[in-house]
Amino acid sequence: MNKIVHGVIHGKTIHLTEDPGIADGQEVQVALAAVPPEKAWGDGIRRSAGGWADDPEMNAVMERIQEDRGRERRPQVP
């Protein structure tokens, strides 16, 4: 039987998130693969912001950029 069950390691103990469906005391073979942590939306842009990450004026600057993007840019024909 091959089954993938997720768990969390605490020292040498693995706490499984679900019942593995194997009899208590049964010898098993374990192959481990780390699951990358989930990243919150926007983490990448916050990391790339560098020195601007905590700038209190940055929200206003970004709002202005967004407004400018929405404006019509084609030349007006008389």
Kindly report, residue by residue over 16-42, the tens digit of the pLDDT.
999 999 999 999 999 999 988 888 887
Instruction: Summarize pLDDT for 64-76 with one digit per residue, the tens.
Output: 988 888 777 777 6
Residue 54 lies in a domain: yes
Residue 55 lies in a domain: yes
Q: How many domains does the chain have?
A: 1
Q: What is the pTM of this model?
A: 0.44
**DSSP one-letter string for 16-71:** ESS-----TT--------PPPPPPPTTHHHHHHTGGGTT-TTHHHHHHHHHHHHHS
Residue 30 lies in a domain: no
Residue 17 lies in a domain: no
At 9, is the pLDDT very low, low, confident or very high (cuts 50, 70, 90)? very high
The alpha carbon of residue 12 and the mean position of all alpha carbons in its chain are separated, in whole angstroms, by: 27
Residue 65 lies in a domain: yes
Domain extent at residue 59: 38-69
Residue 19 lies in a domain: no
CB 5 within 8 A of CB 22: no
